[in-house]
Amino acid sequence: MEFDDGTYGVIDCKFQGKNNDKSDFYSPQLEAYAYALENPAAGKAQSVASMGLLVWRPTTAIGSNADEYGFGVMQKYVPVERDQANFLKVIGEFIDVLEGELPDAGSECQTCTYLTARNALD
């Protein structure tokens, strides 16, 4: 969203089943959006003044048949503090994994364990 002073706010909408604060979990994602706005590959950079989560938690079912179902929600806005240093750390670690050596296959390899469990679901 654009503010009157020309700065921007980044708002990410989330559905949550429980009433808990996930702002720390989503902070790097929001910071990635802000980083992209402030450091575009092309075009004018935009200044991001604030970030936050718009959280909807379903509370009630609405409707009487499958063609008319919906749900009621509790809604709240959760401000998220800017933390570019943490974002750069997280994205750096992610890049290191992508560009790094593949681990040896085996029971200690987390990727192997994940793929084995995932394949078992098929």
Structure tokens at 9: 């706010």
What pLDDT score does 22 carry?
Answer: 85
CB 9 within 8 A of CB 49: yes
What pLDDT score does 107 carry?
Answer: 79
Tell me how far apart the alpha carbons of residues 121 and 107 are, in angstroms, rounded to a whole number: 19
What pLDDT score does 122 carry?
Answer: 56
* pLDDT tens, the chain, 122 aa long: 999 999 999 999 999 888 888 888 899 999 999 999 999 999 999 999 999 999 999 999 888 887 888 889 999 999 999 999 999 998 998 888 788 777 777 777 877 877 787 777 65
